[in-house]
Amino acid sequence: MKIGFVFPGQGSQKVGMGKDLYDQDLEVRELFLSANKILGYDISAICFEGPDEILTQTANAQPAIFLVSAALLLLLKRKGVVPAFVAGHSLGEITAYYAAGVLRFEDALRVIQARGTAMAASYPSDDSAMAAIMKVELDVIQRIVSSVEDGPVVAANLNCPGQIVISGKKAGVTEACDLLSKEGGRAIMLNVSGAFHSPLMAAGSEKLAVFLQDKVFASAQLPIILNRTALPETDADVLKKNLPLQVVSPVQWIGSMQVMAQHVDRLIECGPGKVLSGLCRKIVPDLAMVSVSDLESIKGIENGPQ
């Protein structure tokens, strides 16, 4: 049986995540303590104790989600549950790089730090917005966002049929939401600090590219289905060039999971929350899937998924 792993991105964080893993497994505890040392502050305490308004800050949420996903990956590997393909949603793509052996643990954390800092400084957060659009076809959304006066606004996350996230200047996103509501859609403004995966991240993309210039990337030990292309990739140079491009490009999650379903028999969401499992059930409903987010769910996979 071939298994695909998917790794969540920002928004899946929850105060208390990873605490049971830390308390009951020495190797996981060492992983968390190593992350504290690498980052230079106590990310473990933020994971376990919050408060929520601190955990949800991009600079904390992103390494915290990666850390919990890495801990779960370690425990799954110990049980002999290993993927044939991997993919990650936005931030989760860096976790996929780590799972495929492209980046070491320390390097992945430092890339996440640099990526978050670069994206946060790209464009003023008070003039940025993202909104989830429900019940409107992608072609209609693309037509509407291209027509707004105060752009750019783009379709940034193609999450699943019936759920597309738009991103861009605040006034433009608000205008697009009003227009899409007249098309029968429902818009939900997202609590985010930037217009991620839009052209407004161009400065951050450039800064990340500079940061990565002297960083060593290995070729992937297994295929990574990329957000930007929805295609499998293993080449180290391509993977290195992809990360700066990813922050200004749409997340092609629908296409990514359609490709994943062609190669695997079962999907495991490895990380806090169950957001990706919900999306994947709408994209590839016939593909078996399970979410692993804590020690109890790990115990449910004793000899690999059945």
State both tokens at 30. Answer: 């060492």
Residue 90 falls in the annotated catalytic set: yes
Taking the C-alpha atoms of residue 263 and residue 2, their distance in angstroms, rounded to an integer, is: 7
Q: Is 299 left (phi over 0), alpha (psi -120 to 50) or beta?
A: alpha
Residue 197 annotated to the active site: yes
| Spacing of C-alpha 256 from chain mean position | 13
Cβ neighbours around 59 below 10 Å, total = 18
Name the active-site residue from 44, 89, 197, 198: 197
Residue among 204, 136, 144, 140 nearest 173 (CA): 144
Cβ(289)–Cβ(280) below 8 Å: yes
Instruction: Cis check for the bond before 250: say yes or no (omega within 30 of 0).
Output: no
Report residue 275 CA to chain centroid gap: 10
Q: Which of 12, 44, 90, 249 is catalytic?
A: 90
Instruction: Give the whole-angstrom CA distance, residue 4 versus residue 100.
Output: 12
Token pair of 98 as six digits: 């780590």
Q: Which two tokens stand for residue 153?
A: 């606004």
Task: Spell out the alpha helix ranges (H) of the chain.
Answer: 19-24, 26-39, 43-49, 52-55, 58-78, 92-99, 105-120, 138-145, 170-181, 202-212, 236-246, 253-261, 275-283, 295-299
Cβ-Cβ contacts under 8 Å for 63 (sequence gap 6 or more): 35, 39, 43, 109, 112, 113, 116
Which residues are designated catalytic?
90, 197
